[in-house]
Amino acid sequence: MIWVAATLIAAIAQTGRNAAQAGLGARVGTVGATSVRFIFGLPFAALFLLLLSPFTEIPRPNAAVLGFTAMGAGAQIAATAFMLLTMRGQSFGVATALMKTEPVTLALIGAVILSEPLGAGRLGAIGLATLGVVLSSGAKWSRAGLVPIANGIAAGALFGLSAIGFRGALLALPEGGYFIHALTVLVLTLTIQSAAMLTWMLAADRRALRGIMGEWRVSMAAGALGAFASLFWFIGFALTPAANVRTLALIEVVFAQVVSGRILRETTGRLQLAGMALIVIGVGWLLVVAAG
């Protein structure tokens, strides 16, 4: 199953992009650090599409493609804003866990907007893996406030809406294979997002714009990794419902826990171990359902 390999590649590349962006926030601000994935990712995606153009026909986006892409691009920017809000206060773990409920909202939104079947097996697998993430997060639910919870739910729902927008755009393209579809929608998405972020920074945050230009080496690395990760996310979205892709991606939580335990020597509690087990079972269940 190509979508499985594409999802795992995307998750690994996204981890690299996050590492590249890690120190940017303190130097260029949150808006600047967020924008580099779009602004510096666009040249790489556009160049790749240009290089492929002599060898394959580039699909022509219609009104439906543009509408779905704009919805996905806008929802992703808004989701990122809510995600940044969750990083404040003592309820970070709670809000982060709630953001990982994205596969559930994805399945529900996909059923409504794209008429994708839910199915008891698929819903059960998604729910089990999502519960595993919540348990393995180690969140202190007793300290949770309504605002962090609301921000986390909003971020998860908006990330889900963005993925539905991207899948809708991919399905609406009239001709071509899944790879050229993914690359075309990626270029459209990054163009919209770059234009929006540049407009905002020129109007309200020129310091951030000067900052990312001054940090161009790190920004280029983050942009290249971000574009690479997004391309493989879109390949996954082109081949299977977005909820399947995002549920499989939850396996990165297990990888992160293993790394933190083996390399950083951090202890893992019983509840976290139970959560990791539920993630593995849920992802395995989903793969069986998808294969059938």
Residues 122, 127: Cα–Cα separation, whole Å: 9
Put simply, whether the predicted model's pTM sits higher than 0.85 gets the answer: no
The mean pLDDT of the chain is: 82
Domain ranges of the chain: 2-291
Least confident piece of the model among 39-43, 108-112, 231-235: 108-112
Q: If DSSP codes are grouped into helix, strand and coil, which group holds residue 128?
A: helix
Q: How far, in whole angstroms, is CA 185 from its chain's centroid?
A: 15
Q: How many residues would you count in the chain?
A: 292
Which residues are within 8 A (CB) of 5 and not within 5 positions of it... i.e. 6 or more apart? none
Least confident piece of the model among 8-17, 130-139, 175-184: 130-139
Residues 34, 73: Cα–Cα separation, whole Å: 13
The three-state (H, E, C) secondary structure of 13-35, written as one string:
HHHHHHHHHCCHHHHHHHHHHHH
Residues 13, 227: Cα–Cα separation, whole Å: 9
- List pLDDT tens digits, range 105-117: 778 888 888 877 7
pLDDT, residue 260, reads: 53
**Residue 76 identity (one-letter amino acid):** Q
**Residue 211 identity (one-letter amino acid):** G
| Residue in the block written with tokens 């020597």 | 265
Question: Inter-axis angle of helices 102-113 and 146-172, to 10 degrees?
Answer: 40
